Amino acid sequence: MVWDAWGTADRRVDLPERVAALLRQVLAVRPGTLPRRALDEVRLPEPALAPAAARALASVVGGGGVRDDRESRLLHAGGKSTVDLLRRRYGAVVDAPDAVVLPATPEQVLGVLACCAEHRVAVVPFGGGTSVVGGVEPLRGPFGAVVALDLRRLDRLVAVDLESGTATLQAGLRAPEAEELLAARGLTLGHHPQSFEHASIGGFAATRSAGQLSAGYGRFEDMVVALRVATPAGELRLGRAPASAAGPDLRALIVGSEGAFGVITEVTVRVRPVPAARVDEAWSFPDFVTGAAALRRLAQGGALPAMARLSDESETAVTAGLAGGPAPGGALAVLSYEGDAAVVAAGRQRVAAVLADAGGRPLGEEAARGWRQRRYDAPYLRDALLDAGALVETLETAATWSGLTGLYGAVRSAVTAALGTAGSPPLVLCHVSHVYPTGASLYVTVVAAATDDPVARWQAAKRAATDAIVAAGGTITHHHAVGTEHRDWMTAEVGPLGVAVLRAVKGALDPVGILNPGKLIPPAG
């Protein structure tokens, strides 16, 4: 991916002039507010990795596996949040790891961790680099140097067990390549988050990722059967059977641990046959509350399709405007079905009966066609909006059904109050992206005019929104993970004793504390 934007340069999009004009008129966006800095204008700190540590690392991975050139360091200088990109756009100095280390085997990963523990070098595991919560920020903690541990060379499909319906994948394998390798065997993982084009299998596990088809395939944690994990204290091999009562499930300590406890090197996952039929359809509801109640009925009645997504009135109107169509009014739901053709047909009938009874109006397949075509485009649109001078960022949460409406209002109010002080109110859009019998997630997109310090402005809004989420009983993150952005609210999420448990686990697996310092676990005191 390019260093100061999402994705690859060939996928860059230009903002239509009618959209740019609307931004200027409604949000007082000023073009040229957030110019991109030329690569040769960016300064990096000098590499601080001691020669002895560099030699020791090279002895583990080979001389070509340790890189400290400018380009390698820049491409590992953090993730892809708006804050990350803004810092690169106007920062004269960009922090970066002192070196990038590229192991080729799980054994080499173990060797790298042992070497870094001995030489007291911080290690940031790096998969696809798609974190939007500071999860791969090159923080040194108390150490003098930090390396990015890039897992791209661990890119094999290790094994397929057709009888059991599982596949073992190395952690650095990117999602598109994983799907291609599985498809050659007639299989699919079915995990398609928005980061799909660039994210890695290990990253999915480390962050408890949720794909867009989670209602049909489950969250990534639901797919994990077994794990191979390198830690500074040794290797863990977890998962022996489809179910076990052998004490607490230690896989759950690693899935979601964000590289703070160990480095996932292999993941055995549940796979399924490639579906014979895929159908998308759209429904319209008078308003967001009515649509959410309809999705609840689907979830609690066991009638959910593979995906059920509901945009509020604002997002529905904006999405239609971007596509060049008329605003349909109300709230738009997009549903996706996958599986055997007869099963898909029966599922559609069952869903239609529930949604019609709940106040929905069917719009058919054509109205939903654009969703699948554009499902990975939003981050590229975010880059185009930044180029136009708009501050754009997202946040997400989840709550039980009884608390969802209150959470929705609290987050919108907090963001509007925090960002509305600069003259023009922000545009706040929201959709339900994942649905469960007991509740649902909310995914919020915010667009506002950039100011002289857009980073500070967004950080203030994010703090206000997260405080509102905690007060309303929501989770601080549904699928983006904790990283640095949510770390300071972890005590509110799991309690002081829960944080103490996390510290104890880290102390056992990473006694020196080299793994991804500053992420996940709040600092003591």
Alpha helices in 184-267 (DSSP H): 201-207, 214-217, 220-223, 251-254
Average pLDDT over residues 395-407: 98
What's the token pair of residue 212?
């867009």
- How far is the C-alpha of 517 from the C-alpha of 512, rounded, in Å? 11
- Neighbour tally for 475: CB within 10 Å: 18
| Sign, Cα dihedral of 360, 361, 365, 368 | negative
Average pLDDT over residues 3-24: 90
Which residues of the chain are in CATH 3.30.43.10 domains?
A: 9-150
What's the token pair of residue 403?
């608390």
- How far is the C-alpha of 362 from the C-alpha of 281, rounded, in Å? 8
Q: What tens digit of pLDDT does each residue of 186-197 get?
A: 999 999 999 999
Average pLDDT, the chain: 95
DSSP three-state, residue 342: helix
Which residues lie closer than 8 Å to 167 by C-beta, 6 or more apart? 157, 159, 160, 161, 182, 187, 189, 268, 269, 271
- Neighbour-count burial for 490-503, b at 16+ CB within 10 Å, e otherwise: beebeeeeebeebe
- How far is the C-alpha of 339 from the C-alpha of 275, rounded, in Å? 4
pLDDT confidence band for 169 (50 / 70 / 90): very high
Average pLDDT over residues 463-483: 98
The whole model's pTM is what? 0.96
Write the DSSP symbol of residue 261.
S
pLDDT confidence band for 422 (50 / 70 / 90): low
Which residues of the chain are in CATH 3.30.70.3450 domains?
A: 277-374
Give me the phi and psi of 11, to 5 degrees please: -95, 5
Spatial contact of 399 and 471, defined as CB atoms under 8 Å apart:
no
Does the 277-374 domain belong in CATH 3.30.70.3450?
yes
* Residue 118 burial (10 A CB sphere; 0-12, 13-18, 19+): middle
Alpha helices in 377-421 (DSSP H): 378-387, 401-419
The yes-or-no verdict on residue 435 having pLDDT over 90 is: yes
The yes-or-no verdict on residue 404 having pLDDT over 80 is: yes
The yes-or-no verdict on residue 326 having pLDDT over 80 is: no
Write the DSSP symbol of residue 81.
S
Q: Minimal CA–CA distance to 132: which of 452, 457, 378?
A: 378
Spatial contact of 198 and 129, defined as CB atoms under 8 Å apart:
yes
Geometric angle at alpha carbon 477, from 241 and 518, rounded to 5°: 90
- How far is the C-alpha of 411 from the C-alpha of 479, rounded, in Å? 17
- Neighbour tally for 234: CB within 10 Å: 12
The yes-or-no verdict on residue 371 having pLDDT over 90 is: no
DSSP three-state, residue 507: helix
The yes-or-no verdict on residue 423 having pLDDT over 70 is: no
What's the token pair of residue 74?
């820049």
- Neighbour tally for 324: CB within 10 Å: 9
The yes-or-no verdict on residue 93 having pLDDT over 90 is: no
* Residue in this structure with the two tokens 């077994």, named with its chain if needed: 226
Spatial contact of 355 and 294, defined as CB atoms under 8 Å apart:
yes
Higher pLDDT, 373 or 53: 53
pLDDT at 234: 98
What CATH code is assigned to 9-150? 3.30.43.10
Q: Which stretch of 24-38, 171-185, 222-236 has the lowest confidence by average pLDDT?
A: 24-38
